[in-house]
Each structure stands twice: as C-alpha cells, then as structure tokens.
Amino acid sequence: MIVVTGGAGFIGSNIIKGLNARGVSNILVVDDLTEGDKFANLVGLDIADYMHKDQFRQQLLAGRLSGVEAIMHQGACSDTTERNGHYMMENNYRYTLELVQWCQQYKVPFIYASSAAVYGPGPVYKEDPIYEAPLNVYGYSKYLFDQSLRKHLGRLKAPVAGLRYFNVYGPREQHKGRMASVAYHNLRQFQAEGHVRLFGGWEGYADGAQQRDFVYIDDVVAVNLFFLDHPEVSGIFNCGTGRAQPFNDVAMTVVNSLRLDKAQPALSLKEMVEQKLIRYIPFPDGLKGRYQSHTQADLTRLREAGYDAPFTDVQTGVAAYVRTILNKER
C-alpha cells in the first residue's frame, strides 16, 4: 500500500492520478475533509481507503499501520500568509518529523513536499543552507524539517527525498482559493472582468516582468514518481523548471488561449496592454521587502540524481491547463 497524505489536495490528488495511470490503486488517502470541497479531486480516482489525518497519526504512533510500501507526504498547511506559528509548526514540522521517524523505524521510503519558500528573497535557489532565509513561518516550517533531515542523511535506514516545489500550477487546484496559482486566478479574473491585473514595476522590474519558476503539475508528478522508482536516492532537491518566466507570459498565454477557444487571433503583449486586456496595478506597499520578484530553481542536484526529463514551459503548460478547465466546464 502507498500512503498519500494530502491526497485530496492539489499535488496529492495528481500524484494519485499518476499512480493510477501505472495501474496502482492500493492507495491510502490521508487528508482532512472537514471543509468538504476537496472531495471533488478524488472523484474518478481509484483508491483503497481514506483516513482523516488525525486518525492516521494516532494509528501511526500506536504502531497499528502495516503493509505500507511508501509514504508520499503532501499534506501540510500551504497558506504562506498564515501567522499562527504553533498551528504551522505542528502541521508542517512536527507531523512530518513523526512520519519520517516511523518510516525509518520500519524501513519505508518517504517522499515529502518541501518548498522554494525556504529560500526567502533569493537570489540563489540552490539546496544549500547558505542560500536559505525564509520570510514567513510557512517557509520556516519547511526549512526546519529540511535542516533536521540533513543531520541524518548519512545514516538513513530507508530513503528520504524532499522536493522543494516552486510555483506549481495545473488541474485540481480549484479548492485553494487565494492560494491557487497565478494562472488559475488570471483565468478566472479574465472570465469575470474581461481583463487580467498584474503588479506594476518594482525593484527594477518593468510592469508584469517579475519572474517566477512556474512548474506544471504533470512535471511535479513525474519527479515524485521518479523518486518512488529510485529508492537508492535520498536528499533535498529543487522541483522547478530551472527557467524563470515573467508573469506577463502567464497572463498572455491565458488570454490567448481563451481567444483561441473563441477563434480569435492571438495578440502580442503590447496589443493586450493597449486594449486593456492586461492592466497593471501599483505594487502593494505591504509586499515590499516580502516578495520574491525572481525565482529560478537550480536543477543541478536533481539532474545529478538521474532525473533527465525536460520541463514544460509556461506557454505549453498554461495553454494545456486552460483547455482542461474549459473542456471540464462545457
């Protein structure tokens, strides 16, 4: 049995989809469906069982779990604006620590979600403590566990792989609200208002030219499954494309994908701005000094680990994502 925590969430449910595509269905989903909207992500997926995260933790600590082949730990509080440090550390740090200790005791492979938030403002995004300076308690919760893992890498009894996700986008994220991807918000905003709003220039960047490493969910799933297939590899690895692209690229691809759906010609960025299909708002004072204006994953360690597949660029991934949403809503 493979355990996927956060299995009803964005990345977790897509991992289950990826496992199902391999013919794997003996999957225990661990999550919290108190707010039940996430159930939609499990519809159509083939799983063996569901367990609430607290019940799972109790079963784990009591030694009542058996037959576990691997744990793919995606469950966490992912709200980067959450200020309750106790809640964040209990959910993201302590829970993960208990899981990895259990996995070490019973020699079970453990793959978990870390985050590019550990790097803070950058500008170097390389898996090394000298480049890590989280700006919020979410980032710190991920950072602290990564630090804990580093102390034990040389004497592990079972493989552990931590994946530092950059800006992930794609299907099954609709429940995330304001924490959903830029692509999702751009799409919904254009559908509702007929235009997309982006931040204006700041820190030397032109309007909408701040850059992030936007990574398509299918690539994230592929990286997770790679580590599932390669239990000989342990460590902390970036999970991004290795290429920073501006927010303008995301917005343009969303708008042109929607135009294509209506048999309208594609427009350039200049044309979109002139037609006010893309509009820029002043950079918020509250984000100054607390915002990543440029992120780009250093993929050296991931490539050295043997993962050699190419990553999807924004133009390809966002266009596919828009088509998926439109087809589902027809």
The band of 179, judged by pLDDT with boundaries at 50, 70 and 90, is confident
Alpha-carbon span 149 to 161, nearest angstrom: 9
CATH number at residue 74: 3.40.50.720
pLDDT for the residue 37: 86
Confidence bin at 288 (pLDDT 50/70/90): confident
pLDDT of residue 88: 79
Q: How much of the chain exceeds pLDDT 90, in percent?
A: 82
Total count of domains within the chain = 1
The pLDDT of residue 99? 95
> Is 138 one of the catalytic residues?
yes
Q: Is residue 99 part of a domain?
A: yes
**231 within some domain:** yes
Query: How high is the pLDDT of residue 330?
Result: 78
Phi, psi of 2 (to 5 degrees): -105, 130
Average of per-residue pLDDT across 175-202: 95
Catalytic residue among 87, 126, 176, 291: 176
Whole domain around residue 54: which residue ranges?
Answer: 2-170+215-242+295-311
pLDDT digit string (tens) for 234-284? Answer: 999 999 999 999 999 999 999 999 999 999 999 999 999 999 999 999 999
pTM: 0.95
Q: Does 262 reside within a domain?
A: no
At residue 243, the pLDDT reads 98
Residue 287 lies in a domain: no
Specify if 85 maps to a domain. Answer: yes
The answer to whether residue 178 sits within a structural domain is no
Positions of E strands within the chain: 2-5, 27-31, 49-52, 70-73, 110-115, 160-165, 167-169, 196-199, 211-212, 214-216, 235-239, 245-246, 278-281
Do the domain assignments include residue 189? no
Q: Is 147 among the domain residues?
A: yes
220 falls in which pLDDT band (50, 70, 90)?
very high
Task: Please say whether the dihedral angle defined by the alpha carbons of residues 205, 210, 213 and 215, taken in this order, is positive or negative.
Answer: negative
Catalytic residue among 93, 95, 125, 138: 138
Identify the CA nearest to 91 among candidates 145, 51, 38, 11: 145
